[in-house]
Amino acid sequence: MAYFTIVVVSYRAGEKLKKTLENALAQSCGDLRIIVKDAASDDGSVEAARAACPDERITWIVEADRGIYDGMNRAIRELDGESLVLFLNCGDLFYDTQVLAHVREEAERIRQETGARPEILYGDIAERRTGERFMANPRLDAFACYRNIPNHQAIFYEASLLMREQFDTAYRVRADYEHFLRCFFRLGIRPRAMDLIICDYEGGGFSESPEGARISAAEHRAVTALYYTPAQRARYRAYLILTLQPLRAYLAGSRLTAGLYRRVREGILKK
């Protein structure tokens, strides 16, 4: 039984699938299992990755599915035991070879402190587009979750939690957001933050395209309506408007201003 399970969902990923697998296999903590759920790609990516990574720790599931979250759910059905599970997209990489070793140390420290490993444990990402570290909010409350949750490539879940609570495939780009809020509000889980960069995040996926952004905004409204009162949603929306959220998003995404924005934001979050 592996301490970690890394789930990689792919479709026509080209060289990115092989690079992501090679990166994961290079972790100094080798106590891991990798589940590749590929949606029957026809670009040769699966064959190339299999040839490059003939490792018995990799489980291959190659079959058609109904999208990324259906693929993630199919991978979840292959989980066993009580591993910590991370979903790593093709093209995304572990920040360095020591990431899993550090996460294991932190998880075991929390186990000694509380008597159990946290059901959700998260860290930060390094944005490849800006070259900056993006710090997840270390103190999650209702408003923090309304604004944004930690990046899913930096969240570790207990396998038993995922086996009980899978992703709602009615959402095309926000199923991970709905799942996180479900765990936070309905199950009362309080995720634990780590001061650690987990992932070198590629970005540029469907959710960041014009169509994806439109769907994401609509699904954010639908998901928050499930977990927040109308008064909360109105108050939080007003705050984001008054604090110029679109401008802040632009500053965070520009190579020219991302560094300054990051330093100001981290200073606020660490207070």
pLDDT at 40: 96
Sign of CA dihedral 97, 7, 152, 217: positive
For the entire predicted model, the pTM comes to 0.93
pLDDT string in tens for the chain (271-residue length): 899 999 999 999 999 999 999 999 999 999 999 999 999 999 999 999 999 999 999 999 999 999 999 999 999 999 987 899 999 999 999 999 999 999 999 999 999 999 999 999 999 999 998 888 988 999 999 999 999 999 999 999 999 999 999 999 999 999 999 999 999 999 999 999 999 999 999 876 766 677 888 999 999 999 999 999 999 999 999 988 888 677 666 666 777 776 765 776 677 777 6
Q: Look up residue 25 and give its two tokens.
A: 């296999």
* Bridge partners of residue 224, in order along the sequence: none
pLDDT at 256: 72
Q: Look up residue 151 and give its two tokens.
A: 């990046």
What one-character-per-residue DSSP string does the chain give? --SEEEEEEESS-THHHHHHHHHHHT-S---EEEEEEE----SSHHHHHHHH---TTEEEEE---SSHHHHHHHHHTT--TT-EEEE--TT-EESSTTHHHHHHHHHHHHHHHHSS--SEEEEEEEETTTTEEEPPPSS--HHHHHH-PPPGGGEEEEHHHHHHS---TT-SS-HHHHHHHIIIIIS----EEEEEEEEEE----GGGSHHHHHHHHHHHHHHHHHHS-HHHHHHHHHHHHHTTHHHHHHHHH-TTTHHHHHHHHHHHHT-
Domains of the chain: 4-229 (3.90.550.10)
pLDDT at 80: 84
pLDDT at 114: 94
pLDDT at 172: 95
